[in-house]
Amino acid sequence: MSLEIVLITGMSGSGKSVALHALEDAGYYCVDNLPPELLSAFVELEHGRHSNKVAIAMDARSAGGLPHLPGQLERLQRQGVVPHLVFLDATTGTLVRRFSETRRRHPLSQGPVAEGRRALVQDIENERELLGDLREKSHVIDTSHLRSSQLQSYIKELIAAPVGQMTLVFQSFGFKHGLPSDSDYVFDVRMLPNPHYEPQLRPLTGLDAPVAEFLRQQPGVDQMRRDIQQFLESWLDMMASNHRSYVTVAIGCTGGQHRSVFLVEELARHFAPRWPTLCRHRSLDSRPTLKPADLLAHDF
């Protein structure tokens, strides 16, 4: 029986407990805060004992063992076990707000909970540096603007992707909401004609047929699509040969509602026959007005 391993790491306060709950709901045997030096021994022990699906969370609480993790991962790969590596991240400002709202101590903090914003920011930056190498090896999800339900959906989509084959993640976003920090490549399409200025199209999105038809008729839109396709087609094989598990391509327009959504759908449709492909629409997913309780602040 083959063993599926999902390794969840990331910044404290980024939503790792939410991710573990999603994996538990999906039938994974979940373990939180496993010391990194015990990873391969734990996997060997649990193989066939509880489930063929295991999810493990690690973070800065296990800082002393993190240098052992690359060797542990190499050992698993030699045994034919290739884990999904997922790194949850968020902006420093978002993490400060989450810790402040919940009154929880940062794992690297040496002082009282009420030690002040400056000390908390320093703890977060220290953790970011500590986990930097691990972030580079993982698929990154920026949870800064995600609700718990969105993060759970993202996690379940990722684990459905085949292990050992590179997955393309296309995501649309709006520049007015900020750049997504979890992207490998970002393409700016704000120079293209904007359906927002067509009254009948303004309330619609790039998923709707009238918007798609409008954009297909506009000069430059098809050229932009072909240029992005050509760039990716030129380099994807080399990325895959470099043992990349995921490549995230972000397409941004002003609000993330029309142009970027349309192009993400077109690109995903083009590449899906050859590569496992996922679509995300960050601005569309977050369009409903959110109450503080809807966000991840209370769920990490």
Binding site feature residues for ATP: 10-17
- Residues with Cβ < 8 Å from 56, sequence gap 6 or more? 5, 6, 7, 8, 30, 31, 34, 39, 42
Q: Which residues are annotated as a binding site?
A: 10-17, 59-62
Nearest of 11, 23, 14 to residue 56 by alpha carbon: 23
For 31-57, letters b (16+ CB in 10 Å) and e give: beebbbbbbbebbeebbeeebebbbbb
Task: Return the biggest CA–CA distance within the chain.
Answer: 62
Q: Return the DSSP state at 273.
A: T
**Residue 106 DSSP one-character state:** P
Q: Residues 206, 269: contact at Cβ < 8 Å?
A: no
Q: Let me know: does 1 contact 48? Beta carbons within 8 Å.
A: yes
Give the H/E segment covering residue 96: helix 92-102
Annotated binding-site residue numbers for GTP: 59-62
Residue 252 CA: distances (Å) to CA of 26, 58, 192, 257 = 32, 32, 11, 9
Tokens 């899906």 — which residue?
272
Alpha carbon distance 282, 285 (integer Å):
5
